[in-house]
């Protein structure tokens, strides 16, 4: 099995133009003693929206690694793929996020459900987990309900995994993640235990699992939810994972994956405490935050760069509904807080960057504008060369924003 390093950080390079600036953050982190492996992740959805191919992400990552002489590991994530979308990711990728959200809630074959329950008497009754004060009380009807909710999804994951395994020519060539985050309701720690037992039964050597946590993980903005409840759930999930590794023989490298994990500054101290206390690993995906730094860099540069940033905002506002549709479960935009394009047209560089940069202490910060631009990368893609050449013309200022955002706001807060 290809082993997943302990701390991995998903970075997104929407336009295959930012890998150098991203890698620079990992290099700086390493100098500070923080050993994090970059995982370039770009989902099928994002490739479709932009009209790009996974091989371009690979080429950009490889080039950055060579140019900057990064000697550490790095991975390329086929993010949120399923059986119908995985094939173009097989060759360039070595990390696969199997998205089974669509199969959650679809009932499995009743014989498979009863077979699973019969095989797992240890999951019924009082289930004590080291590290969780209050044991789970799981009835037969609870486990039936959870199995009906999730068994089919784990069977689907197995089918995708087997497909990748055959195509990659062996398990030494990739890391497997299962994601369940883009669904309507969070999975509780006791559900996670049952899900992990089912995944082990399917013989999937899963190394990262992305549940849907309690609270809102909106794209590009801070966590919205009950911090105490999140802390309990996160700690319980870590305990469940440690238990499942021992009980079901799952890989010892199995760890939690936090999707839409960029910018969730209010839960970073909780995550940091938990991983330091338990020694657990962590995978955190921060893809879309990077493209926002490109816009910030353009706006900061003034002149044509600022004008382009304003154009992108105006067009995003115009196409808001279509841009938001694929991300409905992971954004919450209050239209009343979106400034008009006329207003934004009158903004200085400072006003634009204050609104967009994720600094909640800045009175100009606007989380609604930030979310809209987060999902607005299609607009930049449609601008084609105009956008890419603006990035190139302002590469220094863009790169500084990309690197600082990852290093200062994300890595240091989570790991230092
Ligand atoms: Zn996700």
H or E element in which residue 210 lies = strand 206-210
Taking the C-alpha atoms of residue 80 and residue 253, their distance in angstroms, rounded to an integer, is: 20
What pLDDT score was predicted for residue 329?
82
Query: How many whole angstroms from 187 Cα to the centroid of ligand 1?
Result: 14
Query: How many whole angstroms from 46 Cα to the centroid of ligand 1?
Result: 12
Interstrand relation of 125-127 and 136-138 (parallel, antiparallel or unpaired): antiparallel
Interstrand relation of 175-179 and 136-138 (parallel, antiparallel or unpaired): unpaired
Q: What is the DSSP string of 376-401?
A: THHHHHHHTHHHHHHHHHTHHHHHHH
Burial class of residue 241 (count of CB atoms within 10 Å of its CB; 0-12, 13-18, 19+): buried
Tokens of 266: 């209010």
Region(s) of the chain under CATH 3.20.20.70: 7-288
What pLDDT score was predicted for residue 184?
83
59-118 pLDDT per residue, tens: 999 999 999 999 999 999 999 999 999 999 999 999 999 999 999 999 899 999 999 999
Query: How many whole angstroms from 394 Cα to the centroid of ligand 1?
Result: 31
Query: How many whole angstroms from 208 Cα to the centroid of ligand 1?
Result: 12
Task: Tell me which residue has tokens 């105009």.
Answer: 386
Spell out which residues have Cβ within 5 A of ligand 1, the ion. Answer: 181, 259
327-337 pLDDT per residue, tens: 888 899 999 99
What pLDDT score was predicted for residue 104?
94
Query: How many whole angstroms from 145 Cα to the centroid of ligand 1?
Result: 24
What pLDDT score was predicted for residue 328?
87
Query: How many whole angstroms from 95 Cα to the centroid of ligand 1?
Result: 14
Query: How many whole angstroms from 264 Cα to the centroid of ligand 1?
Result: 14
Intervals of the chain under pLDDT 50: none
Query: How many whole angstroms from 371 Cα to the centroid of ligand 1?
Result: 16
Query: How many whole angstroms from 99 Cα to the centroid of ligand 1?
Result: 8
Query: How many whole angstroms from 124 Cα to the centroid of ligand 1?
Result: 30
| Whole-model pTM over 0.85 | yes
In the chain, the percentage of residues whose pLDDT exceeds 90 is 94
Q: What is the average pLDDT value for the chain, to the nearest integer?
A: 96
The answer to whether 92 and 41 have CB atoms below 8 angstroms apart is no
Query: How many whole angstroms from 25 Cα to the centroid of ligand 1?
Result: 23
Query: How many whole angstroms from 260 Cα to the centroid of ligand 1?
Result: 6
Query: How many whole angstroms from 240 Cα to the centroid of ligand 1?
Result: 21
Query: How many whole angstroms from 302 Cα to the centroid of ligand 1?
Result: 34
Query: How many whole angstroms from 125 Cα to the centroid of ligand 1?
Result: 32
Other CB atoms within a 10 A radius of the CB of residue 84 amount to 8
Taking the C-alpha atoms of residue 37 and residue 26, their distance in angstroms, rounded to an integer, is: 8
Classified by CATH at the fold level, domain 7-288 comes out as TIM Barrel (3.20.20)
Contacts of 29 (CB under 8 A, 6+ apart): 35, 36, 407, 411, 412, 415
Bridge partners (DSSP) of residue 137 are 126
Bridge partners (DSSP) of residue 224 are 216
Burial class of residue 45 (count of CB atoms within 10 Å of its CB; 0-12, 13-18, 19+): middle
Tokens of 242: 């440690």
Taking the C-alpha atoms of residue 77 and residue 95, their distance in angstroms, rounded to an integer, is: 4
Query: How many whole angstroms from 245 Cα to the centroid of ligand 1?
Result: 23
What pLDDT score was predicted for residue 70?
98
């Amino acid at each position: 099995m290809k082993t997943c390093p302990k701390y991995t950080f998903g970075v997104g390079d929407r336009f295959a133009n930012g890998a150098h600036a991203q890698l620079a953050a990992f290099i700086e982190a390493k100098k500070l003693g923080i050993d994090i492996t970059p995982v370039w992740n770009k989902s099928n959805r994002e490739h479709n929206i932009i009209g790009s191919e996974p091989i371009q992400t690979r080429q950009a990552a490889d080039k950055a690694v060579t140019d900057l002489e990064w000697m550490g590991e790095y991975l390329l994530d086929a993010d949120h793929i399923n059986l119908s979308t995985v094939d173009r990711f097989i060759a360039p990728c070595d990390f696969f996020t199997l998205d089974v959200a669509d199969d959650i809630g679809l009932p499995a074959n009743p014989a498979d459900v009863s077979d699973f329950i019969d095989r797992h008497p240890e999951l019924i009754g009082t289930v004590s987990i080291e590290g969780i004060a209050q044991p789970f009380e799981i009835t037969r009807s609870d486990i039936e309900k959870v199995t009906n909710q999730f068994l089919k999804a784990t069977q689907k994951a197995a089918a995708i995994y087997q497909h990748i395994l055959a195509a990659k020519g062996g398990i030494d060539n990739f890391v497997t993640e299962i994601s369940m985050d883009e669904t309507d309701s969070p999975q509780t720690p006791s559900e996670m235990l049952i899900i992990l037992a089912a995944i082990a039964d399917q013989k999937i050597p899963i190394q990262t699992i992305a549940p849907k946590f309690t609270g809102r993980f909106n794209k590009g903005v801070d966590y919205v939810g009950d911090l105490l409840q999140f802390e309990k759930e996160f700690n319980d999930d870590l305990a469940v994972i440690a238990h499942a590794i021992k009980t079901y023989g799952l890989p010892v490298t199995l760890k939690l994956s936090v999707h839409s994990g960029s910018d969730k500054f209010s839960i970073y101290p909780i995550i940091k405490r938990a991983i330091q206390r338990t020694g657990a690993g962590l995978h955190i995906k921060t893809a879309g935050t990077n493209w926002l730094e490109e816009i910030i860099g353009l706006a900061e540069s003034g002149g044509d760069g600022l004008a382009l940033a304003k154009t992108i905002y105006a067009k995003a506002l115009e196409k808001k509904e279509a841009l938001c549709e694929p991300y409905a479960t992971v954004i919450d935009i209050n239209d009343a807080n979106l400034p008009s394009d006329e207003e934004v047209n009158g903004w200085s560089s400072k006003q634009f960057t204050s609104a967009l940069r994720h600094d909640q202490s800045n009175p100009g910060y606007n989380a609604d504008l930030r979310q809209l631009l987060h999902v607005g990368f299609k607009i930049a893609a449609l601008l084609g060369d105009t956008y890419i050449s603006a990035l190139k013309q302002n590469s220094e200022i863009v790169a500084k924003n990309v690197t600082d955002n990852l290093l200062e706001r994300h890595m240091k807060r989570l790991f230092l």
